[in-house]
Amino acid sequence: MPRPIHSALFAVPLFLAACADSGGPLAPLPDARPAHPGFDTSLYPGDAAMRAWAAPSSPYEWVGYYLAAPCHGNTSWLGRRAFLGSIGWGTAVLYVGQQTWEGVASAQLAAPVPARAAQSVTCSRTMLSGAQGTIEGSDAAAKTANEGFPAGTVIFLDIEYMTTITAPMRDYYRSWVAQVLADGRYLPGIYCHKSNAAAIHADVMDEFLARRPTAIPQFWIAGTSGFSLDRVPTDVGHPFANVWQGKLDTSETWNGVALNIDASVADTRAPSGR
């Protein structure tokens, strides 16, 4: 791509993670394996497919959960959180914000040209700014709450590969992170390419140190070299990686159901904390 207009982090220590939906404490998730495979795909595959792929039918334990966002207009994942949890799926909540490349939201791309022209553009490099980051940080928190995710959930801001991290992009993601932290209900996370990860991590650490110095940022890092489902996230080449996405746009079949996915490994079975 730019990969999905979908396109893919701040790990919450499991004991930190707030309350379950019932209001009681959230029990720590079992974490016996060193790496926990997961996948993401732009459009919701459907309940039957997610049931067919639920462990142990596939190796995958968690799934990317796409919020409606400026550069991901599709709403097919919305309302599926309770069902996915009921059949054992962990989640990684994704918000595809503004990008340095030009684009329009995926729902607009899917529309016929006349209908597309009538829709307002929500995804454009011309919208990158600190002010827009603040607006969209609030939007991400509100949409995460609307989906019923409890306090402490990590929301991953999807930042696609950049040859250069521009000043407007830097202002955008720093403000997005700051606003999610200021909201207080959730923790901001970052999905990014390994080439951009060190610089973005340094900026995000500054925002955390200023606003939540006891929290640890989690990063979901993309890079295909050497990837396999038995590797650990830090094998991507960054010691701060908690999730490594390394297999892109691949078709797999499990339990008789074929899906086109991007595959990752994480250091927990629920990168967003649930």
What are the domain boundaries of the chain?
59-266
Sequence length of the chain is 274
Whole-angstrom distance, CA of residue 113 vs CA of residue 9:
36
Whole-angstrom distance, CA of residue 11 vs CA of residue 123:
27
The answer on pLDDT for 67 being more than 70 is yes
For a pLDDT cut of 90, what percent of the chain falls above it? Answer: 79
> Per DSSP, what are the bridge partners of residue 164?
none
Helix axes 130-146, 167-183, angle to 10 degrees: 40
Residue 121 is predicted with a pLDDT of 72
The answer on pLDDT for 102 being more than 70 is no
Residue 205 is predicted with a pLDDT of 98
Q: Nearest 5°: phi and psi at 86?
A: -70, -20
* Averaged pLDDT for residues 139-155: 98
pLDDT confidence band for 184 (50 / 70 / 90): very high
The answer on pLDDT for 4 being more than 70 is no
The half-sphere exposure of 198 on its side-chain side, counting CA atoms within 13 A, is 5
Residue 145, classified by CB atoms within 10 Å of its CB into exposed (0-12), middle (13-18) or buried (19+), is: middle
Per DSSP bridges, beta strands 36-40 and 257-266 are antiparallel
- Fold of domain 59-266: TIM Barrel (3.20.20)
Mean of the per-residue pLDDT values of the chain: 86
- What is the pTM for the complete model shown? 0.84
CB 35 within 8 A of CB 231: yes
192 or 16: which carries more pLDDT confidence?
A: 192
pLDDT tens-digit map of 5-53: 344 433 333 333 333 333 333 334 445 568 999 999 999 999 999 999 9
